[in-house]
Structure 1
Amino acid sequence: MGGSRYLLLFSASAIALANCAMTSPAAAQDGQPGGAIVSNTDTNDAASAEIVEIIVTAQKRSERLRDVPMSVTAATAETLASRGINSSEDLGKLVPGFSFQKTQFGLPVFFLRGVGFSDTALTASPAVTVYTDQVPLPYLPMARGAVLDIERVEVLKGPQGTLFGQNSTGGAINYIAAKPTDYLAAGTTLTVGRFSQVDAEAFVSGPITDTLSARIAVRHEYQGDWQRNRFNGDESGAKDFINGRLIVDWRPSERATFSLQASAWKDRSNSQQPQFVGYEPKDTSPLARPVDPQVLTYSTSPDNARIAGWTPGKDYRQNNRLHQFALSGQIDISDTVRLSSITSYGHYDAHGLQDIDSLVEDYIAVTIGGTIRNFSQELRLSGDLGDRVKWMIGGSYQDDKINERVLFAPDIDSSTHVGPFTFDSFGLLNDQKIKTKGGFGSLDYELTDTISLQASARYSDQKRRFQGCSADLLGTGEFTSAFSLGFFRDLNAFPPGSCVLVSSTTGMPLPGGSKSNLNEDNVPWRAGISWKPSSATTLYANITKGYKAGSYPTLPTAFDNQLNPVPQELVLAYEAGGKLSLLDRAVDLEFAGFYYDYRDKQLQGLVSAPPFGNLPALVSIAKSRIAGAEANLTLNPVQGFRITVGGTYLNTKILQDPVNPTEPFGNVGTFVGETFPYTSTWQGVVDAEYRFHTSANASVFLGATVNGRTGTKGVLYTNATPAISQFERQYDIPGYALLDLRAGIELDREHLRLEAWGRNVMNKFYLVNTVRGSDYSSRFTGMPTTYGLTLRWRYDAR
């Protein structure tokens, strides 16, 4: 029934736009999700420094990157390929201030300028949102296949709630897919590398009729096992990922363009296995469940990225998949007004097994499963008033349905008991229905020939319905019996297969689980001024208020108030910066300074969740702040040589302790003065490339990329008790620097390219995250040295 409703809305959008197309006059400029984006106007010499003019749609209209009065990092598909960026997780090689973490359940988390949202829940709304052609991928696991046959990527830093909606307090990542061409074009890319890696990608594009064109792209990624079990020598880590996209463009007239996009991917890769760090029981009371003495004999895994630990004989392959459909259209209603619509529907399924204890014994394993169904609709009008005013007004609607199931089986640790009654398995339920409505507008006014004012705002109203609990997912009755007898001395208090939850107000059992609503609204806004003393210089200052939606935890609980949500967070961001081109584009400089004033920031801390002990969970920090600066310098000192240096400095601090959740924190103390988790003080990227001709039809290139960051931590903890410092150090994430190298040759005006490459060529051991799963601490490592060859061929009939 729900799918039929979405199909009707999808069709209605197409019909409405088509009707407008039959009666509309001529053209207005708007931010189309495609079109020509790179103009090699500065040079036609393939061996010279690659100076390109990138056209972006960061403000939902087409404009030069260096004219956009905000901090944006943009790069072409060629730049991404040369730096080995095949997924969003790799963007740290390009974007200073971007970082990626992996939760204990293996879910991705993105941070920009220290702003992100780390939670184990599939239902977690991110603080950095991802789009493909402005079509939302509202939950980060859905973004796995976004880097396929793209034209460019735009990374917008700072709150983006006015044009891209809430849940973008950190920023937004927009991938622009390569579009169908009006001529025949085709290409293939083949990569072979270490660990039996074989990646193959191909596309075909061209006209079908005079008004219809299409482009289809497919990619398959394969890699053999790269991890070894320290206990028995087994191997794991294989990758098996297939991805595809079809785009059909229809141009019924010069005034109208429609694009239908269908994409799908399937991931059957193995879950990455974490390394064992240490054992520390959550429950140290006299009634604590006894530990297997064998656990106490294990030492921390060696500092070798390939060495991990897991229980053999289990299937650790994921079964995650996504299919999404999107219809977009642009109609020129008049010479100065354009109507745009974007309608999309996506369905994501997840299933995977993760070893939590990182040991050969079968103590704790987690099966993560769930579905996400997402429908979104945006409709907007944009245009010009004279030569000095650009305006936009629109509305949006999003409907999400999420069903999450997390099964702990087995789960044998110190806290899996209620008094003397033990249990070996249980599950978590988190079902949410989320409806978000919004209206937005923007206005740009050229006060003079060089000074412009910008303003934008959005009203968002979100209604979130939640139902969840800890539950007897296996239906054995062991979990429910332990709580029935331990809490009520009544074996039938919780029937087998039911939720296990106790009312914090009445003390009575709630076998149906917790049901509640979180209804929030907000008005993010942005005001700015920019000055262009010349065509090569832009200086700007912005004040932005942004919001991120509240969230319900996926957390083992016994009492309903442990499932209370954290409220929406609010940030007031101040930023000033500039973009300069000097010495005839021999020097390009971008810089910005910023200050974020936070209220109710959502961070991951440790919360007491009896009888399960202290658990990582969301806390709402009453007051905190981020101060920082960033710069990106591109030099073209001589013909053929280019070097780019980018860096970000962050200073984060908690200014006031949390006021929720209602349960006491696991460690007595204060958070005041502590820094944010996953926030390095310094991050930097350096990339250099030299190109030279060997003949009239061939050029050789040599390149290197270094990206690094200082250390941080994987959890928010108090600063008052020295006795827990050794425990806290288990969550440290040391700093690191990684070196990538590349060399190759291009023939026939870049239609044929052969590249040899190496990633992390110094085989630096580094950590992606440190986590705690029950009594066990573990860590996810980055990849060891990889190397290989990539052959790329392109053809077009022009």
Structure 2
Amino acid sequence: MEHEEILVHGSRGSAARLEHTGVAISRLDHATLAQAGVTTINDLQRLVPNLQVENAFGGGQPQFHLRGVGFFDYGSNNMPDVMTYVDGVAYPFGIMTQGVMFDVSEVEVERGPTGATSGRNTTGGDIDIVTAEPTHKWSAGVMEDIANYARSKTDLYVSGPLSKTVTFRLSAETNHGGGYEFNRTTGEHIGNANRGAVRGKLNWAVDDTTTVSLNGHWSIDDSDATPGYLIKPFTTELGAGVTMPADSNHYATGWGISPQFAKMIGVANDAKPFRKNQSWGIDISVKKDFSWARFTSISAFEAMYRHEMNDWDATQSAEADNYFDTNMTVFSQEFRLTSHTSGPFTWAAGLYFYNANMQDEMVTDYMSTHSFINTTRYGQTDTSFSEFGQLTYHPFHNFRVILGVRHENEWKYLNNFYTQRSTLGPATRYDRSTGMDQVSGKVGLEYNVTPHILTYFNIRRGVKEGGFSAYNLTSPSQIAPFKPEWLLAYELGFKAAMFNNRFHLTGAAFKYDYHDQQVQSAVVDSVLGPIGKIVNAPSSSIWGVELEAQAEPIHGLHLSQTFGYEQGQYTQFQIANLTATEAQHAQTGGAWRAVYTNMAGHDMGFPKLTLNGSASYDIHIAGKYVLTPEADYSYRSQETAVLLGPLFNIKPYFLLNTSLTFRPEHGRWSVTGYVQNALNRTYDLTRNFFTTSDFGIVGPPRFYGARMSYTY
């Protein structure tokens, strides 16, 4: 079996192609995503082994972890370890990924370092979202989803030809309601969605060898934010105020801001926590086939405006209320050449340029505790230039040797950074810079035992750029840049298709040597004491195994199962023990001195076991209709808060979803009734603390509803 195609972003398609690609990739087609009720990128963790996605403190900034490689940062300015692509365009800030999952053709999740054939450098992996393409025949469709808690979602599209060579597709989505939390004092509900998005795609077949694609999108998110519940008793105003008991009902919460804070950010005194985010973008792709190679150019511009207010003390007290006002723009340009198959060598090579500009403001309400409001402002620019290439050599039939390399230069500048307290005079302003000059790449071996069984082994080096802890400044040492992280990934795997393609099984075992991992922690200033900061853990180690299986043992019966197990330990990491440091200072006084804890041998805390599975069966009725019952589940073992303590551990949870779909045998409509979280399990998505309050963010309760769709 010849290796026909080198894997690149924006060149998605057949499951058969992925079966002959020696990397671990989960492919989720449109039917799978719809059946599982996937509406946001965060929902993918219910389908992909060793993937976790959670929003920082319940805010709009998602935290991606793949095979234990991830990054925690509630700010807007740093790149995640797991990169999201939409139609080959990188979304380099996590906050940009929260409104892209509509009119989707498929999603591919690649685990492990990437960057040798396209896109950006990553240490964790990629999430590639491929949206539906324009069609050469006229078609249109509508889908309406209605559920309890007044939740509704509407999807529309129209597609067809404008001429013999030009096709278009226009799609849109709206999402409303669904708020399941309530104010513990007033009973008022919070958490309702209010989102809308539209996307347009235009394809032009210039001639037999040249195609041009123009894509544009716009979205708005005017939803309620997601406050937390108190996980332990909380006395407001630094112990001088009201004592709030821990919430026995995890859907209970509270919120409130000071009049001064409301006036400063321009909202009403009784405003709920909210998001008022907008994003838009445009990209143009050109593909030109020559006799010897395909040339691809992807030019993209993305912009986002983040206006978000969160209440992170979960009470009426003004102790940890944050407002983000972020404007970001990203321009990227990628050029690729990919060889056509001929002879013993295939290859891909390219250039990637990236430039991001950000103006950010974070306003924090401390009126109930310190009688002031903090405003942090800064600008950040980030520019990188990369060259990459991959060569595949076929020394003999069914055996391939793969060599990939990437070189990246990156320059990042933090400009005019300052934190202004409302009770003090003008703040000192700072400029900082960092960058990297790094090489990453891959060495791999692939062998087809049979035409339908692939085995592979590869070693990959991944790199992620450094950055800045852009939080409320208390000491200049806080904004000292943290270094780039890198890892060596060793992976041994197989992919098999058996029994006339009715059974597919893939598996992988991996071992990561992780260096300079970027970790949310703290440093100790000699005058001011402990300060929150992202630091580098010198070394750690991760290993694990994965299995994915899909089967159709009899016609109409579809089964799937994934298994992921992983463990990680720090091998060299000294962290500031804040409890011991504060106790020492209380006893000795004078300058602050850090007391460190050696984390060598300590578990890294992520869930060790993830299980996901589904089963559905098509029941044919009188040769005219099909009735399909379906059930899927996901299980996640305990997540341990190694750096925060056992109070912040997330308990294991099991979720079950069921549905029943009725449709004509060859018709255009379908009706589905469903129940999500059918067992009505109460579980936490995350736990954390911010300044004074310890809180958890609860996951959705049971939702039941119906989906109706019609295509023309």
With structure 2 as the length reference, what TM-score do the two structures score?
A: 0.92
Please name the residue that 1:585 is paired with: 501
Please name the residue that 2:647 is paired with: 730
Does 1:89 pair with 2:42? yes
Please name the residue that 2:336 is paired with: 380
Alignment of structure 1 residues 508-657 onto 2, 5 Å: 511=428, 513-608=429-524, 614-657=530-573
Alignment of structure 1 residues 38-437 onto 2, 5 Å: 54=15, 64-104=17-57, 105-278=59-232, 291-295=238-242, 297-304=243-250, 306-311=251-256, 313-332=270-289, 334-384=290-340, 386-413=342-369, 416=370, 423-437=371-385
Distance 1:385 1:99, change over 3 A: closer
**Unpaired stretches in structure 1, ≥5 consecutive residues:** 1-27, 38-52, 56-63, 282-288, 417-422, 481-495, 500-510, 718-727
Please name the residue that 2:618 is paired with: 691
Please name the residue that 1:14 is paired with: none
Deviation of 1:548 (Å): 0.8
Deviation of 1:232 (Å): 2.3
Deviation of 1:254 (Å): 0.8
SS in structure 1 of the partner of residue 232 of structure 2: strand
Deviation of 1:672 (Å): 1.5
- Distance across 1 between alignment mates of 2:220 and 2:374: 28
Deviation of 1:278 (Å): 3.5
Q: What amino acid is the match of 1:349?
A: Y
Q: Give CA-to-partner distance per residue, 1:633-690, whole Å, 9 cap, x none.
A: 22322222121111111110000025999x999763221122224x101111011111
Residue 670 of structure 1, aligned match among 590, 593, 598: 598
Q: What amino acid is the match of 1:251?
A: A
SS in structure 1 of the partner of residue 611 of structure 2: strand
Please name the residue that 1:450 is paired with: 398
- Say whether the 8 Å CA contact 2:152–2:178 is kept in structure 1: no
Distance 1:644 1:665, change over 3 A: farther
Distance 1:246 1:30, change over 3 A: farther
Distance 1:644 1:666, change over 3 A: farther
Q: What amino acid is the match of 1:311?
A: G
Distance 1:636 1:226, change over 3 A: same
- Distance across 1 between alignment mates of 2:593 and 2:248: 32
- Distance across 2 between alignment mates of 1:373 and 1:171: 23
Does 1:472 pair with 2:420? yes
Distance 1:665 1:687, change over 3 A: farther
Q: Give CA-to-partner distance per residue, 1:323-342, whole Å, 9 cap, x none.
A: 0000001011x222111100
RMSD, aligned α-carbons = 2.4
Q: Give CA-to-partner distance per residue, 1:323-376, whole Å, 9 cap, x none.
A: 0000001011x2221111000001100011111211123333111111111000
Residue 716 of structure 1, aligned match among 620, 639, 643: 643
Distance 1:750 1:609, change over 3 A: farther
Please name the residue that 2:694 is paired with: 777
Distance 1:637 1:424, change over 3 A: same
Q: Which has the higher strand share?
A: 2
- Say whether the 8 Å CA contact 1:161–1:169 is kept in structure 2: no
- Distance across 2 between alignment mates of 1:660 and 1:335: 60
SS in structure 1 of the partner of residue 340 of structure 2: strand
Q: What amino acid is the match of 2:244?
A: Y
SS in structure 2 of the partner of residue 142 of structure 1: helix
SS in structure 1 of the partner of residue 117 of structure 2: helix
Distance 1:36 1:320, change over 3 A: closer
Q: Give CA-to-partner distance per residue, 1:554-599, whole Å, 9 cap, x none.
A: 2233221121111000100000000112222332211000000011
**Unpaired stretches in structure 2, ≥5 consecutive residues:** 258-269, 582-591
Please name the residue that 1:725 is paired with: none
- Distance across 2 between alignment mates of 1:336 and 1:370: 46
- Distance across 1 between alignment mates of 2:701 and 2:531: 31
SS in structure 2 of the partner of residue 558 of structure 1: coil
Distance 1:686 1:132, change over 3 A: same
Identity %: 22
Q: Give CA-to-partner distance per residue, 1:407-447, whole Å, 9 cap, x none.
A: 0124443xx4xxxxxx4211222421000000011111222
Please name the residue that 2:267 is paired with: none
- Distance across 2 between alignment mates of 1:195 and 1:778: 24
Q: What amino acid is the match of 1:408?
A: T
Does 1:792 pair with 2:700? no
Q: What amino acid is the match of 1:88?
A: I
Distance 1:188 1:163, change over 3 A: same
- Say whether the 8 Å CA contact 1:205–1:213 is kept in structure 2: yes
Does 1:740 pair with 2:668? no
- Say whether the 8 Å CA contact 1:654–1:672 is kept in structure 2: yes
- Say whether the 8 Å CA contact 1:653–1:673 is kept in structure 2: yes
Distance 1:609 1:698, change over 3 A: farther
Q: What amino acid is the match of 2:88?
A: Q
- Distance across 1 between alignment mates of 2:675 and 2:356: 41
Q: Give CA-to-partner distance per residue, 1:377-405, whole Å, 9 cap, x none.
A: 00111113623321111101000001221
- Distance across 2 between alignment mates of 1:30 and 1:338: 12
- Which stretch shifts more, 310-319 or 525-534? 310-319
Report how many aligned residue pairs link the two structures.
Answer: 684
SS in structure 2 of the partner of residue 92 of structure 1: helix
Distance 1:567 1:392, change over 3 A: same
- Distance across 2 between alignment mates of 1:290 and 1:141: 31
Please name the residue that 2:634 is paired with: 707
With structure 1 as the length reference, what TM-score do the two structures score?
A: 0.82
- Distance across 1 between alignment mates of 2:216 and 2:176: 23
- Say whether the 8 Å CA contact 1:581–1:588 is kept in structure 2: yes
- Say whether the 8 Å CA contact 2:576–2:595 is kept in structure 1: no
- Say whether the 8 Å CA contact 2:318–2:365 is kept in structure 1: no
SS in structure 2 of the partner of residue 291 of structure 1: helix
Distance 1:324 1:101, change over 3 A: same
- Say whether the 8 Å CA contact 2:149–2:178 is kept in structure 1: yes
Deviation of 1:514 (Å): 1.9
Deviation of 1:277 (Å): 2.3
Distance 1:34 1:127, change over 3 A: closer
SS in structure 1 of the partner of residue 245 of structure 2: coil
Distance 1:194 1:616, change over 3 A: farther
Please name the residue that 1:48 is paired with: none
